[in-house]
């Protein structure tokens, strides 16, 4: 296309009277309308992440995403990814817990996961012991005996935004906010059965018993608590699937 000079005051050029100029204008308009000067953006679709139920799953309960790499993609495209799931187990896969958004009636059925911060979650079906005021339990942790359900506590992997649906044992939780500090009471000294570890009763940060027995393993690989014996208490940090003893004033 030819270069067209702009007219200026007092000049002799009158481009609006030129058939050549109008020909160039029409060519330019047609080129723009046809997309000739537009860089096409790649067409993208959001990737949908689904789970494959390891057993019949109820919406609002917990599953663990398997860490195995299978490349399973039963829908034959790049827009959907299917992840294998497994039962939630303490000290094994607490770091891969997800809340099922949809129910799966049979093993192998697809599960949708929550991706927004706030979502519904099922609580353990027993005496919640929620309490009120300063003792209100505002966090939730997978129950030790039934880890597909959450148990209210003052510590946990999710923040409880609101208790809702008491009859159905539902709560609104924030999956992006947690309180990882816990207390513990030793059932044995560190190293009695396994080097750098000890069985203990888990207690939330406000001193409420989270479990009735001593099923939690506390890790102390640095030997920070070598002077502790059975019955002593301390503070630990939940990270991944383990509870790490940290330096603190202990009894």
197 or 81, which is more confident: 197
pLDDT level of residue 249 (50, 70, 90 thresholds): low
pLDDT level of residue 95 (50, 70, 90 thresholds): very high
227 or 165, which is more confident: 227
Average confidence score pLDDT of the chain: 84
pTM for the model stands at: 0.75
The answer to whether position 100 is within a domain reads yes
Same domain, 54 and 98: yes
The answer to whether position 230 is within a domain reads yes
pLDDT level of residue 166 (50, 70, 90 thresholds): low
- Cα 36 from chain centroid (whole Å): 44
Same domain, 211 and 187: yes
Highest mean pLDDT among 3-12, 29-38, 108-117, 166-175: 108-117
Same domain, 139 and 185: no
pLDDT at 48: 82
Q: How many structural domains is the chain composed of?
A: 3
Contact of 110 with 93, CB cutoff 8 Å:
no
The answer to whether position 162 is within a domain reads yes
Same domain, 128 and 106: no
5 or 171, which is more confident: 171
Same domain, 98 and 126: no
Q: State which residues form the domain around 56.
A: 48-112
Same domain, 242 and 185: yes
pLDDT at 40: 64
**100-156 per-position pLDDT tens digit:** 999 999 999 999 998 889 999 999 876 555 555 556 788 999 999 999 999 999 999
Query: Which burial class, exposed, middle or buried, applies to 243 when counting CB atoms under 10 A from its CB (0-12, 13-18, 19+)?
Result: buried
Q: Nearest 5°: CA angle at 115, between 109 and 118?
A: 115
pLDDT level of residue 39 (50, 70, 90 thresholds): low
Contact of 65 with 83, CB cutoff 8 Å:
yes
**45-73 per-position pLDDT tens digit:** 567 889 999 999 999 999 999 987 555 55
Mean pLDDT, rounded, for 193-215: 91
Indicate the pairing of strand 242-246 with strand 216-219. parallel
The answer to whether position 24 is within a domain reads no
Domain boundary among 112, 147, 165: 112
């Amino acid at each position: 296309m030819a270069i067209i000079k702009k007219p200026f005051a007092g000049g002799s050029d009158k481009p609006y009277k030129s058939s050549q100029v109008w020909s160039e204008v029409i060519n330019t308009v047609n080129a723009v309308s046809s997309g000739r000067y537009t860089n096409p953006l790649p067409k993208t679709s959001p990737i949908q992440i689904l789970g494959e139920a390891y057993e019949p799953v109820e919406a609002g309960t917990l599953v663990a995403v398997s860490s195995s790499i299978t490349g399973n993609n039963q829908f034959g495209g790049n827009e959907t990814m299917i992840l294998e799931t497994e039962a939630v187990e303490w000290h094994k896969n607490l770091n891969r817990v997800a809340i099922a958004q949809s129910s799966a009636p049979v093993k192998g059925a697809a599960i949708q996961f929550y991706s927004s911060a706030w979502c519904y979650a099922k609580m353990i079906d027993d005496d919640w012991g929620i309490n009120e005021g300063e003792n209100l339990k505002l966090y939730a942790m997978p129950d030790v005996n039934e880890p597909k359900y959450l148990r209210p506590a003052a510590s946990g992997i999710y923040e409880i935004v609101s208790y809702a649906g008491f009859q159905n044992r539902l709560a609104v939780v924030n999956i992006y906010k947690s309180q990882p500090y816990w207390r513990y009471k030793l059932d044995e000294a560190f190293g009695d059965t396994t080097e750098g570890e000890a069985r203990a009763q888990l207690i939330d940060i406000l001193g409420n018993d989270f479990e009735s027995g001593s099923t939690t393993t506390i890790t102390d690989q640095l030997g920070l608590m070598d002077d502790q014996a059975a019955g002593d208490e301390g503070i630990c940090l939940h990270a991944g699937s383990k509870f790490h003893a940290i330096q603190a004033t202990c009894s």
